[in-house]
Amino acid sequence: MSGILAVGSMAFDTIETPFGIQEKVLGGSVNHFSLSASYFSRVNCISVVGEDFPKEHLTLLNHRGIDTRGVKIDKGNTFHWSGKYGYELHEAQTLATHLNVFEHFSPEVPESYRNSDFVFLGNIIPSLQEKVLSQVHHPKFVAIDTMNFWIGTQRESLIKVISKCHCLIINEGELRQLTNSFNILTAAKLVRSWGPKLLVIKRGEYGAVLFNDGDIFSVPGLPLAEVKDPTGAGDTFAGGFMGYIASQPNFNLSRFTLRKAIVYGSVMASFIVQDFGFRNLLPLTKKMIDEQYQRFVELTAFNLV
Residue 239: exposed, middle, or buried by beta-carbon count in 10 A (0-12, 13-18, 19+)?
buried
Distance of CA 6 to CAs 143, 218, 265, Å? 10, 26, 16
Q: Is 19 in the site for a copy of itself (CB under 8 A)?
A: no
Q: Contacting a copy of itself (CB under 8 A), which of 88, 108, 290, 291? A: 88
- Count of CB atoms situated within 10 Å of the CB of 103: 12
H/E segment holding residue 114: none
Which is nearer to a copy of itself, 107 or 220 (by Cβ)?
220
Q: Is 209 in the site for a copy of itself (CB under 8 A)?
A: yes
Which is nearer to a copy of itself, 216 or 282 (by Cβ)?
216
- Please tell me the distance from the alpha carbon of residue 27 to that of residue 123, in angstroms, as a whole number: 12
Q: Is 273 in the site for a copy of itself (CB under 8 A)?
A: no
Site for a copy of itself in 67-86 (CB under 8 A): none
Distance of CA 147 to CAs 12, 29, 32, 45, 171, Å? 17, 11, 15, 20, 8
- Please tell me the distance from the alpha carbon of residue 237 to that of residue 119, in angstroms, as a whole number: 15
Q: Contacting a copy of itself (CB under 8 A), which of 217, 248, 275, 279? A: 217
Part of the chain binding a copy of itself (CB under 8 A), chosen from 66-74, 120-128, 253-261, 275-283: 253-261
Q: State whether residue 45 is helix, strand or coil.
A: strand
CA 98 to chain centre: 20
Give the residue among 302, 236, 298 at the shortest CA–CA distance from 268.
Answer: 236
Which is nearer to a copy of itself, 77 or 300 (by Cβ)?
300
Closest approach, Cβ 143 to a copy of itself, in A, equals 19
Q: Contacting a copy of itself (CB under 8 A), which of 66, 175, 184, 268? A: 184
Which is nearer to a copy of itself, 194 or 206 (by Cβ)?
206
Which is nearer to a copy of itself, 87 or 249 (by Cβ)?
87
Q: Is 96 in the site for a copy of itself (CB under 8 A)?
A: no
Which is nearer to a copy of itself, 156 or 298 (by Cβ)?
298
Side-by-side strand order, sheet with 20-27: 20-27, 11-17, 79-84, 93-98
Q: Contacting a copy of itself (CB under 8 A), which of 35, 109, 242, 262? A: 262
Q: Contacting a copy of itself (CB under 8 A), which of 75, 180, 182, 193? A: 182
With beta carbons less than 8 A apart as the criterion, state whether 202 and 208 touch: yes
Closest approach, Cβ 124 to a copy of itself, in A, equals 30
Cα first-last separation, the chain: 40
Binding site for a copy of itself (CB under 8 A): 87-88, 182-186, 203, 206-207, 209, 215-221, 223-227, 256, 259-260, 262-263, 297-305
